[in-house]
Chain A
Amino acid sequence: MTVFSVLYLLAAACFILALKWMSHPSTSRRGVLTGELGMLMAVIGTLMRHEVVNYEWIVIGLLVGSAIGVPLAVLMPMTAVPQRTAISLACGAFASALIGTAEFYRVGQRGTFTTGALMVEILLGFLTTTASLLAFGKLQEILPGRPITFKGQNFFNLGVLGVAIVLGITIVASPGSQALFPIYVVLALTFGVLLIIPIGGADMPTVIALLNSYAGLSACAMGFALDNRLLIIAGALDGSSGLILSIIMCRAMNRSFTNVLFGGFGQIQTTAAAGEQKPVRSASAEEAAQILEAAQSVIIIPGYGMAVAQAQHKVRELHDALVKKGVEVRFAIHPVAGRMPGHMNVLLAEADVPYDKLIEMDDINPEMAMTDVTLVIGANDIVNPAAETDPNSPIAGMPILNANKSRTVMVIKRGMSPGFAGIDNELYYMDKTLMLFGDAKTFVASLVKELAGSH
């Protein structure tokens, strides 16, 4: 056993401990530190391998990468975390795809299994690269967030993937077919693009988690191609983590994988929603503040709109003002609120809301009926009672936060436009619902001001 293989073994142990300690906020920072230690050992171990003889470009590469990575992590605002994750996934997958390509063109004998692993690595690497870049474009709103669909899309997409797989098998089976390789790469890149264009904003949490899984599996395939067990372990951990997160996200929307990937959510019911003009009750900040002040318990339901308006700090001020007046305030977090798993928790933690106030859906729903006021800030589909009452609704069966069961509902919203899924929300028309029209940040700020003014 050589020094580097001991370091690899220790690194693998570190990664496993890092994930184990990630399970709870009190140990999670230790987990990150352990993960960093593992990575350091892996890099040092690799540099010590006798096959590695040229260090100049490696050192320059490590320095350039750090020079890009540090500002990317330090300067990134917390609201942009989904975008950062997407761009980071693209970086990781691109590295993996390039290594696969370099390995493919390297002279030397390779077995069928190794070439096969290499082709899997390259396919997953390149498709995740373009898919993540596109997801980044959608999240950053450089590209339109609405799903783009065309006739025969699923057939076409599967066709592209099918041709790529056939090419891949041909390359593995006949060593003379190297010339097909560039076409294989182009098909992988194209499939990544095709995979993301029909995805709407509400499905982003699932897709980001799925891309995370692909990036991990690509690293794992590299482990097989290079006969490196550390890569297999780390890649498999990442692959299974991404997969289980996307399963959790799918379950939270009562949709299957295939439905998310091939569904084309978003244009289903827009025609039915338009045309009807039902009366709604609206209220001013002053009236709303009086009701909140008189309440004993308030549940705040944040959604993507809170992130867009950057309202999390004002929401924390509202929380403080109400707590000071003796009101019990909690936050109800839907698993798919926002644009990536756990998005709302990070934003509210950034605003210093203690994490024991952030309650998961299954734990808070039974308490809704005993709650005086629920305040919905920038959320829509995740509180839409149609999911439970209307079997024909596109979101039928999706678990929701039962804001409609509380005694009074308040909804802060810019206007009456439907949410990302394009579905009308009957919650807004209920007798006990008050619509608070305005920008989330401005409206919450005026609520705080009203609460401070009245003694």
Chain B
Amino acid sequence: MNYEFGLYVFMLSAFLGFELIRKVSPLLHTPLMSLTNAIASISVVGAIMISGEAGASTLSKVLGFVAVVSATTNLVSGYLITDRMLKMFKRPEPTKK
């Protein structure tokens, strides 16, 4: 019954996601998308498991390797460009008297 537990986790995370994202200012929708995209590169975890396990077939190793490269590209570029974008959002200039 392990998957039933998984479905509960899914349901709660999806609702939490909705609540969190709704609060994000439209100002930041582009960096938000690249951040969530970078978080989705968590699939690198699956890629490591597939390519690193003992007795992995050649097919698993090849597919796993390509998946590690692909997910890492997404991960690294996603986080870096999100930060690059956010750095540009300047605080409002102090009002001069």
Contacts and interface: CB of A to CB of B under 8 A. Distances in A.
Contacts of B16: 16, 237
Contact of B59 (A105, A209, A239): A105
A65 B72 contact: yes
Interface residues of B, number: 82
B59 A240 contact: no
A306 interface: no
A19 interface: yes
B39 A18 contact: yes
Given A22-B35, A65-B70, A39 B89 contact: no
Contacts of A94: 67, 70
Interface stretch (A67-75, A263-271, A296-304, A426-434): A67-75
Contacts of B52: 47, 51-55, 57-58
A125 to B, nearest CB: 9
A61 B47 contact: yes
Contact of A234 (B24, B40, B72, B81): B40
Range class of the A interface residue count: 35 or more
A65 B76 contact: yes
Contacts of A216: 36, 40
Contacts of B78: 69, 73, 88
Given A16-B16, A42-B42, A58-B52, A84 B77 contact: yes
A414 interface: no
Contacts of B23: 20, 23
A305 interface: no
A360 interface: yes
B9 to A, nearest CB: 5
A407 to B, nearest CB: 26
B47 A69 contact: no
A388 interface: no
A23 B20 contact: yes
Given A24-B25, A53-B53, A216-B36, A355 B79 contact: no
Given A73-B80, A234-B39, A22 B70 contact: no
Nearest to A29: B86
A345 B69 contact: no
Contacts of B89: 25, 28, 345, 349, 355
A68 B45 contact: no
A350 B64 CA distance: 37
Q: Name the 5 nearest CB pairs between A and B, nearest first.
A: A65-B72, A69-B76, A342-B29, A61-B68, A240-B17
25 contacts: A18-B39, A22-B31, A28-B31, A42-B42, A58-B51, A65-B74, A69-B73, A72-B73, A78-B85, A84-B34, A84-B81, A85-B34, A99-B50, A103-B50, A113-B3, A226-B46, A229-B6, A232-B10, A233-B13, A340-B33, A342-B30, A342-B33, A345-B26, A346-B88, A354-B92
